[in-house]
Amino acid sequence: MENSIIVHEYGHGISNRLTGGPANVSCLGNNEQMGEGWSDWLALVLTAKSTDTGPTSRGIGTYVLGQPVTGQGIRPAPYSTDFALNNYTYANLPAMAVPHGVGFIWATMTWDMYWNLVDRHGFNSDFYGNWNTGGNNLAIRLILDGMKLQPCSPGFVDGRNAILQADVNLTGGANQCAIWSAFAGRGLGFSASQGSSSSTNDGTPAFDVPPSCDFLEATPTTQDICAGQNAVYNFSVGMAFTAGVAMSATGNPAPTTATFSPNPVNVIPGNTTLTIGNTASAAFTTVHF
């Protein structure tokens, strides 16, 4: 039996059951819906191996075609983060057949997202592990939560936004730039528009990310603390930087300390936490870093 096809068909039950709320199982009939894409994606994820890498060529239905697992399969191209193997983006959507070609574009995007998360958080061979035990486990959770959050009859932007919101709900948004990077790379960036989710011909591709993912953003931007408390800031290090970013802070008054963790930031886009400590003896003041 062809494992990827079995998982693919089972995946339709999941996406139809979760999209549009618990009382609706008829939300995936519009032209830009991504049902075939989620099914392909689940097939890829649930047959992944620890030796796989993002550029590895993965096809759907390779066994029934007598191909190796690295073959193209039944889609227009194999799934891979390598643009030499799969260069499809949102700009190709108008030319794709409904629904399988549409789903292929969506699975291409979310497969890139999967690898961004695995590269950041590692791979867990236990697919049933908690969401915080591996990047693949996290990706599964975000995809499933995204299905629950998106509206009935979703389009690509709806699906992207639901995944981003799922990350905010689950992790506080720790993976926003990693998610944006994947979608932007495939044309569903910050400025992209889906138009009507009933049409695959009126979308506008864009390859940009939010400004917060391009540069450096701190959360919160201001903070009031009492002496003795630590001040903690979360920094998003965007794609304008090159991996290996050494972090430092100036302006903190003696005898306070300023420590970043991790430092350097070796995964871009990435995150680091600044902790201002030893504040018990600091005078009442306003400090700018």
Catalogue the active-site residues.
Answer: 9
Residue 272 three-state SS: strand
Cβ–Cβ contacts within 10 Å for residue 197, how many? 22
Secondary element (H or E) of residue 165: helix 156-171
Please tell me the distance from the alpha carbon of residue 149 to that of residue 255, in angstroms, as a whole number.
47
Please state, as a whole number, how many other Cβ atoms lie within 10 Å of the Cβ of residue 221.
Answer: 7
The two counts, helices (H) then strands (E), for the chain are 7, 4
Q: What are phi and psi of 235, to 5 degrees?
A: -110, 130
Q: Do 38 and 15 form a contact (C-beta atoms < 8 A)?
A: yes
CA 204, distance to chain mean position in Å, is 20
